[in-house]
Structure 1
Amino acid sequence: MTIFSVWQLSEHLIQSQALQNAEVSVENLKTARTLYSDSVVARMREQPGITITHDYHNMDGGIPLPATYFIELGEEISNSQKGSGVRLFSNHPFPWRQETGGARDDFEREAIAFLETNPEAAFSNIETVTNRLSLRYAVADVMKPSCIACHNSHPDSPKRDWKVGDVRGIIEVVQPLDGLISQTQFDLFKLVAFLISLFVLGLSGLVIAIRRLNKITENLELEVIERTADLVDANQQLLVEQEKSDNLLLNILPPQIATQLKNGSEPVADGFGDVTILFADIVGFTKMSESYPPHELVALLNEIFSAFDTLCEGLRLEKIKTIGDAYMVASGLPERRPDHAVAIAEMALMMQQELQRINAEKNINIRLRIGINSGPVVAGVIGKKKFIYDLWGDAVNTASRMESHSLPGKIQVTASTYELLKNRFEFQARGEIEIKGKGKMKTYFLESSPVPML
């Protein structure tokens, strides 16, 4: 009976050790991909002549996408370690992986179905793979904030509405068990031989030894379970905290700047020659604050600026900061874009529409005064503990002056911005006005949405 109990325990320990090894293997693979993505791809993205693509073998200066790197790493492991295997598969493979990127058997189909509804769990089974008893272990590969933009904008992406936490694919690890079984059986054989020798020495001594051995094995099993649980909890907590930290940093700084700071790079300023800046101010907000309760006033301001933030994100603009009831946004940095002025013009018109909606819902009458200017700026991070991404230059000051000298409900732009937009939008010439610190300047009011192109 004791030998049978020890045999059952050995099977349990084999499965427990195999699961633990599989968990460690998956974490190591994820760490390798993260290291490649953050330390290689993020740095090389800005380098001229470098293209990040799945077809990098056939392209000069090409390097693999993180997913391609992960897949080829798994193939290398599968080829070099007989019987072992690593696969990345999905219900949404890219066109070039249609034949190999989807589920290939019942286990993989069941793993997808289970992990899409239970992404925090693991899916496993013991099966015969290539004539060897093996553990098949699968976990969900979920979307992170740093992956969303690429997957939703890639021209060949099979899905364009990915969100943080969605299951992008499944990571599977196959580990043969014959090595663990052989070692455990060998240890069991030595244990049985030891028990027989004790039996020969005396039945009473044998009973005592068996009882002590059972106690030791029970304690060992409990210790293995406890340590494994502690390790899993610690790794999970670390991942959660790291995700929170990354999300917080991305809410404060542009992704490229956040990546530089995480890599330990010194914050540096950079010059941008073609940028459009928008300043907006709520007319009469100070007077309104005298009649509104503080909590209602803050709630209203939060609702307005939250709506503006949503517009900003949708147009891929960079919100710089808010000061009281003033809102500042820029286009053309830190990623340069040729349509920087068009995007800001669309933002300004949509801000007015959002404010009209809020006015109608709350039966109030709030108006914006908006100013826009285009030109060169210097941008960078200042501060050591409380970071802020800010802009400097005459173009910024002029945009601020356009706002302060505009009229309620109007969008005033400089001549430089007008020249960039005059063939796409309708304007009303305001003429020359005296601008503090600038003298007389010719300005225009942006009136309507883009004129349809013929």
Structure 2
Amino acid sequence: MRQLVSQALTMFTSLLYKRTVIVLTLLLCSGVSAALWNMSHLSSKLIETQALQNATLYAQALNEARTLYSSDAVDRIGEGHGIIITDNYTTQDKAIPVPATYLIELGNRLSEQNPGMSVRLYSEYPFPKRRNDGGARDTFEREALQILRQNPKQPFFRIEKFQGRTALRYAQADILTPSCINCHNTLPDSPKKDWKVGDVRGVLEITTPLDSFMNKTKEGLRGTFAMLAMLSMLGVVGITLVIGRLRQTSKELERRVIERTAQLQEANEELVKEQEKSESLLLNILPKPIANQLKEGQRHIAEGFTEVTILFADIVNFTQLSEKISPRELVRLLNEIFTGFDQLSEQHQLEKIKTIGDAYMVVGGIPIARSDHAKAIAEMAIDMQRAVAQFNAKHGTTLNIRIGINSGPVVAGVIGTKKFIYDLWGDAVNTASRMESHGVAGCIQVTESTYEYLRDDYVFEERGVIQVKGKGEMVTYFLSGRKVKNLVGTV
């Protein structure tokens, strides 16, 4: 057994040494790769989020600029000041641009100052002069017009290739305000003259290139990748050194494990033997069901039984015998008698409760209830008389036995925490004890309750009324033996 354990440990440690470095290296590389991928993913999301925030702020700024221009400039000028409001303001004196033209040119200025950025205002109803570049020019713009017309409160955006560069295209609905309605519905060249407040006039699109940000982020990530790769290599070297150190101490550990395993095996064998002794001793003291309850942790064990039969027996003339022989011989003889009684209690499946001096107590019907408890006790009593007779014949003694039996309800349980005992309580127990103490040597005295259980199967002699201590007058019977039954009847 020890050799098999040693071989198994050797094979396991050898396999462990061969695989550990590879497994740990793969785990480390996997962790680093996962971290790098996560960093790259987070960086891309951060760039997208920042670009979206910038586009939203640009769109808000442009709308606010147009609203301010329209309400605080155009509306205040009105008519009669000699100033013309037109989209072709550059070719006329005292002319200023209409708000839409102002917004377009403001977007163009922003685009010029931010290379790659694009600001466009387009519509399904462009003015005739802007028909070439005022309508949708690609798939994104057509989708933006369609989606924003259905849901003007939510912007439409996505990242895609635009003019050869990766860019965020952000589109926002251009909604008509009260200050714009009159202009759009009265201008001679307006393509639509039934506009209402809240209609989607067109789309304001802001395109922001992302490739420069992504390139810078990738450069930073490459440096991070290189640093993590170096750290990974150092980690692998460290793991290798640690494994090497472990290999140096493995043989000593293996030897100690083998020795300890052998010691534990010996200890386990001894423990099993001691447990078997303890189990046997416990079962000699307590019934098996009660012992199992104690082992399961129950500390208060008590149960009531409505129908049991209790037997008390006392060895008559044993005191006189003790004056003639040595104490050692006395105990040996008493042990021989009670050992025989113990074998009879096992034979009749009865529960021995205790011995007190030369008295013996046994009960039928506990801890497992049985309907023939009285009959089993009666058989036990008859066999006890026979056992004492055989003992006298063997040793040349003149011992006799006095037996008392009673049937009734009892409470059974375990008392004490040290040297505990399984015992009985109740009036039926006291009465059984009185049947023995008020009995006659060589006779089996039973109460009327036991007699009722046994009258059909056993022969009785009525003793009559006797005075019983603590009970008063009682009718008792002597059990003489079993009835002999034949095919005709009972004799």
Query: What is the 5 A alignment of 1:4-403?
Result: 15-17=7-9, 219-403=252-436
Report deviation, 1:378.
1.2
The letter of the residue matching 1:373 is: N
Report deviation, 1:12.
6.7
1:82 match: none
What 5-or-longer segments of structure 2 have no aligned partner?
23-244
* Aligned partner of 1:408 among 418, 422, 441: 441
Report deviation, 1:215.
9.2
The letter of the residue matching 1:395 is: A
The letter of the residue matching 1:405 is: H
- Checking the alignment, whether the CA contact within 8 Å between 1:14 and 1:184 is kept in structure 2 is no
Deviations 1:248-283 (A, max 9, x none): 211111112111111111223221110100000011
Provide the rounded CA distance (Å) in 1 between the counterparts of 2:445 and 2:320. Answer: 23
Provide the rounded CA distance (Å) in 1 between the counterparts of 2:329 and 2:15. Answer: 71
Change (3 A) 1:214 1:383: closer
- Checking the alignment, whether the CA contact within 8 Å between 2:401 and 2:441 is kept in structure 1 is yes
SS in 2 for 1:426: strand
- Structural RMSD (CA): 3.0
Report deviation, 1:228.
1.4
Change (3 A) 1:370 1:388: same
- Checking the alignment, whether the CA contact within 8 Å between 1:273 and 1:376 is kept in structure 2 is yes
Deviations 1:168-203 (A, max 9, x none): xxxxxxxxx9x899658769x9xxxxxxxxxxxxxx
* Aligned partner of 1:434 among 467, 471, 478: 467
Change (3 A) 1:218 1:270: closer
2:109 match: none
- Checking the alignment, whether the CA contact within 8 Å between 1:311 and 1:350 is kept in structure 2 is yes
The letter of the residue matching 1:353 is: R
Provide the rounded CA distance (Å) in 1 between the counterparts of 2:4 and 2:474. Answer: 82
Report deviation, 1:311.
0.6
- Checking the alignment, whether the CA contact within 8 Å between 2:404 and 2:439 is kept in structure 1 is yes
The letter of the residue matching 1:224 is: V
Provide the rounded CA distance (Å) in 1 between the counterparts of 2:334 and 2:395. Answer: 13
2:454 match: 421
Provide the rounded CA distance (Å) in 2 between the counterparts of 1:369 and 1:338. Answer: 26
SS in 2 for 1:412: strand
SS in 2 for 1:270: strand
Query: Which protein has the larger Cα radius of gyration, Structure 1 or Structure 2?
Result: 2
Report deviation, 1:360.
0.7
Report deviation, 1:303.
0.5
Provide the rounded CA distance (Å) in 2 between the counterparts of 1:453 and 1:348. Answer: 24
Change (3 A) 1:313 1:381: same
Provide the rounded CA distance (Å) in 2 between the counterparts of 1:13 and 1:433. Answer: 76
The letter of the residue matching 2:463 is: R
- Checking the alignment, whether the CA contact within 8 Å between 2:317 and 2:398 is kept in structure 1 is no
Provide the rounded CA distance (Å) in 2 between the counterparts of 1:437 and 1:217. Answer: 79
